[in-house]
Amino acid sequence: MRSIYDLTFNDLVEWTEMVGYKSYQAKQIYQWLYRHRVNDFDEMTDIAKDKREFLKSSFSMKNLTLVQKQVSKDKTIKYLLAFEDGSLNECVLMTYDYGKTICVSSQVGCNMGCSFCASGLLKKQRDLSAAEMVQQVLFVQKELDKEDERVSHVVIMGSGEPFDNYDNVMAFMRIINHDLGLAIGARHITVSTCGIVPFIYRFADEEVQYNLAISLHAPNDELRSSLMPINKAYPLNELMKAIKYYASKNNRRITFEYILLKGINDKSEHIKQLAQLIKGLNAYVNIIPYNQVDEHGFKKVDYHSAMIFYDGLMKAHVKCTLRQEHGSDIDAACGQLRAKHERNR
Ligand code: SAH
């Protein structure tokens, strides 16, 4: 049965019209789901009983179940959640001074095969539906409701490649962004891709205000192809062309993610190449400390060396930030907790 959380507001309006409900009822239902955050159709008290019964027979309203919760010293919380079919998924809540950010997964496993990433340790089993992504946000929001807090930012940077599940991810963003619902501002929602070029064009053409982040991690083709197989299909010149197209259609600043891997992509020549590559773009580089994944053998760069890299980029007139580490004491790398759990199963 289709989950009610799969429906965008427009889908719900269409459905209510189709079954002959008054048009304002879509609004009521949507608010019950996302403002009042009820767990059962019977809690929708201003919907007539026969209509609630009909809703029940048309849609499921199941939630995710909590398998494990890890809380780190810096208050980062990692949730291991199970979907209806028993698949496991991780999502992470991070607290910043500007608000609370949730990192959402978009697939079970991942097929992109990036050599440093824990998510790819388990091949893609399936895409997540829009509902399953919405449910991650709702699960965490319901936890936060107990403390009168709210999820203010969403990043689609958990396990999976969002542009390999494009339609569901777009529906998900529309659902959490809608004014009558969670109302998470488009500018507070970020989708991160390893660089599936045709979908960067498609995303650009949507002319939406969501943020785009690109997992770059290497400033030349040889190195990038050795780390990220996607670069063989869409090398840097094609990727940068797509990004320039996106930039021409959207006035949003682009983020380039760059994990520092010791002895691999952290040399001064890489700073020069990186500066050259993104010259002229309204962009910044987010330097990410590597979360060491046992299976991969890459080493993280110490803080001092990361600062040298950061300074080098600043001197080359590249805007950059050094990402604050979160949850390094709790299996923080995407897919790490799930991979561990699957091994133990
Ligand atoms: N597939 C998408 C989104 C998921 S990965 C993408 O590639 O962007 C989200 C980010 O985490 C990516 O930049 C990814 O490269 C990075 N990442 C993966 N494994 C990591 C690790 N062990 N330590 C730090 N960042 C990691």
Give the CATH number for residue 233: 3.20.20.70
Q: Pick the catalytic residue: 90, 132, 161, 257?
A: 90
**H-type alpha helices, 157-261:** 166-177, 197-206, 221-227, 230-233, 236-249
Looking at the CA of residue 160, tell me the nearest atom of ligand 1: 1
Measured in Å, residue 279 CA sits from the centre of ligand 1 at 23
For residue 90, indicate whether it is catalytic: yes
**Which residues, including other chains, have CB under 8 Å from residue 315's CB and lie 6 or more apart?**
none
Q: How confident is the model at residue 328 (pLDDT cuts 50, 70, 90)?
A: low
**Do 179 and 242 sit in the same domain of this protein?**
yes
| Ligand 1 pocket, residue 288 CB under 6 Å | yes
Q: Is the pLDDT of residue 245 over 60?
A: yes
- Strand-pair category, 77-82 with 88-96: antiparallel
CB 7 less than 6 A from any atom of ligand 1: no
Distance CA 19, CA 247 (A): 42
DSSP count for the chain of H helices, then E strands: 12, 12
**Are 325 and 176 in a shared domain?**
yes
For residue 254, is pLDDT > 90?
yes
Distance 144 CA to ligand 1 centre (A): 26
Instruction: Give 338's pLDDT tier (boundaries 50, 70, 90).
Output: low
- Which atom of ligand 1 is closest in space to residue 336's alpha carbon? 22
Kindly state whether residues 101 and 214 are assigned to the same domain.
yes
Identify whether residues 220 and 311 lie together within a single domain: yes
Query: Residues 129-175: pLDDT tens digits?
Result: 999 999 999 999 999 999 999 999 999 999 999 999 999 999 999 99
pLDDT at 276: 97
Which residue, judged by its Cα, is nearest atom 22 of ligand 1? 291
Say if ligand 1 is within 6 A of residue 193 CB. Answer: yes
Whether residues 24 and 145 share a domain: the answer is: no
Q: Which residues contact 320 (CB under 8 A, 6 or more apart)?
A: 284, 285, 286, 287, 310, 313, 314
Residue 339 beta carbon below 6 angstroms from any ligand 1 atom = no
Closest atom of ligand 1 to 164 CA is 1
Instruction: Tell whether ligand 1 has an atom less than 6 A from the beta carbon of residue 116.
Output: yes
Active-site annotation holds for 110 = no
What burial letters (b/e) apply to 141-156, b meaning 16+ CB within 10 Å? bebbeeeeeebebbbb
Token reading at 304: 């001092």
Tokens describing residue 108: 């079970």
Give kind and range of the element (H or E) at residue 153.
strand 153-156
Ligand 1 binding pocket includes 194 (Cβ within 6 Å): yes
If one counts the domains in the chain, the total is: 2
* Same structural domain, 38 and 87: no
Q: What is the mean pLDDT of the chain?
A: 93
216 and 300 housed in the same domain: yes
Query: What is the model's pLDDT at position 331?
Result: 64
Question: What one-character DSSP code corresponds to residue 100?
Answer: E
Last residue of a domain, one of 58, 82, 101: 58
Residues 45 and 78 grouped into a single domain: no
Q: Of 28, 43, 58, which residue sits at a domain end?
A: 58
Taking the CA of residue 156 as reference, the ligand 1 atom at the shortest distance is 3
48 and 78 inside one domain: no
Q: Which long-range contacts (CB under 8 A, 24 or more apart) does 291-298 make?
A: 291/118, 291/328, 291/332, 291/333, 291/336, 292/333, 293/116, 293/117, 293/118, 293/121, 293/333, 293/336, 295/118, 295/121, 296/115, 296/116, 298/115, 298/116, 298/261, 298/262, 298/264
- Active-site pick, 114, 325, 334, 342: 334
Which residue in the block uniquely carries the two structure tokens 């500007």?
98
259 has pLDDT over 80: yes
Q: Supply the pLDDT for residue 265.
A: 97
Calpha distance 270→225 (Å, rounded): 15
Residue 332 reports pLDDT greater than 60: no
Q: Which CATH number goes with the domain that contains 35?
A: 1.10.150.530
- Same-domain check for residues 147 and 269: yes
Does one domain contain both 29 and 130? no
Ligand 1 neighbour 258 (Cβ under 6 A)? no
285 lines ligand 1 (CB under 6 A): no
Owning domain of residue 251: 65-344
What is the pLDDT, as a whole number, of residue 158?
92
**What would the mean pLDDT of 42-51 be, rounded to a whole number?**
94
Clarify whether residues 44 and 175 are in a common domain: no
Of the residues 21, 37, 58, which one is the last residue of a structural domain? Answer: 58
**SS3 label, residue 175:** helix
pTM of the model: 0.94
Q: Which pLDDT belongs to residue 115?
A: 92
